[in-house]
Amino acid sequence: MEDDTDKPFRSRKVPSSRAARIGTFGRLAGGLAGGVLAEGARRLARGERPRLRDVMLTPGNAMRLADRLSHLRGAAMKLGQMISMDAGDMLPPELAQILARVREQADRMPPAQLRDVLDTQWGTGWLAGFASFNPRPIAAASIGQVHRAVSKDGRELAIKVQYPGVRQSIDADVDNVATLLRVSGLLPAELDISSLLEEAKRQLHEEADYLREGEEMMRYRARLDGHPDFVVPALAPEFSTDLVLAMDYLPGKPVEVLETMAQDERDRVTGMVIALVLRELFEFGVMQTDPNFANYRYQPDTGKLVLLDFGATRAVAPQVVETYRRLFAAGLDEDRASVRKAAVEAGFIGPGVLDGHGERLDRMIGIIVSEMNRPGPFDFDDRAFVSVLREEGMEMAADRATWHIPPVEALFVQRKISGTALLGARLKAQVDVREMVRPYAHPGGPEAG
């Protein structure tokens, strides 16, 4: 974790009451509606027939949406981040731009609101329990912000403080964001996402439970004890509550600093992350499912990655593990029919695709299998095939009969895999992924030894 206290940030009080949060959503809806009317009038004056999608996705409305989600923080902001990381390269460019702003922009609590939260959690006079406590946060995210402190015995700490009202607002925030996306035309009204929304609420409630996160962090620390490539902070239980998570402060820089480093170092670190994801899926049976780049911090002096944020840690169902093993095995064997069969049986592909777009589906599978088996390291910077897949996918999505939500228990694993691929692309890494996957796809085979 790097100290970012010298960087500029915006301080705005988090709306913590139900009425205040509903009011913020109401102002957002009103602002979007006003922007729609103004843009529609301009287009009509030019003799154009405006479409709702076009007038909603103006730069002004994009800024309104990103600004209000960042102000609300909590589930409203987190859901935007989740959609952004889940979909990766497959998002429409307009929505990707909006959600990128939400990922990068988080307001901080004003000092008075921070003090109120800590008075509630630690009691008044808590400052006397520290040698130092910096009220200016070093990081801020969707659910909480992080402060540096030093305990009386000299232990350097990172203390994550949850925004007030976040936990109580999760269900309503998720529903309100989904409504905004539907109203904007970015989310088709006919697509039933109820199961996805319920799962998002469940996971967000887990992420807002800092006692649970502390336990998951310590379990993960035990799994990687002595690992040469990764380091996980230790919990400081005497300062931790269900709304405050205290841990070791571990120095590190944003993982994006690797973009300027030598190719071999970018390849090495990306390979480390891929290897860890494979272990999570096939060995641990437990995965930290949030692939946000901020959850990795790079230590230039040691070459290690600091792993942070274990609120999204969850068990991986055995049937999901088997699904990925079968998909990887069929892909490595260049057995396109088996890839298709495994994807259908896992629920990744719905009946509408099979009925109306079988040939298009087979072309997409062929592209993926060919890329997977290209000789030599996989070049994450070679994105030509992604645009082809996006075009094929958009053509398919134009047919409403293809709209389908895969099983939620697999979606969160796919979220981590997709986010890891985005990191590889960001670092322009070249990694022999095929050989890393092979022992898990064919366990016990000659290549696994």
Residue type, 122: W
State how far the Cα of 250 lies from the Cα of 232, in Å rounded to an integer: 9
Give Cβ neighbours of residue 16 (< 8 Å, ≥ 6 apart): 163, 164, 165
Instruction: Report phi then psi at 284, rounded to 5.
Output: -70, -35
Instruction: Yes or no: say if 141 and 106 are a contact pair by the CB < 8 Å rule.
Output: yes
Q: Give the span between the Cα atoms of 65 and 38, in whole angstroms.
A: 16
Catalytic entry in 86, 267, 290, 309: 290
290 included as an active-site residue: yes
Pairing between β-strand 230-231 and β-strand 305-307 as defined by DSSP bridges: parallel
Query: What residue type is 112 in one-letter code?
Result: A
Spatial separation of the C-alpha atoms in residues 39 and 193, rounded to whole Å: 30
Q: Which residues are catalytic?
A: 290
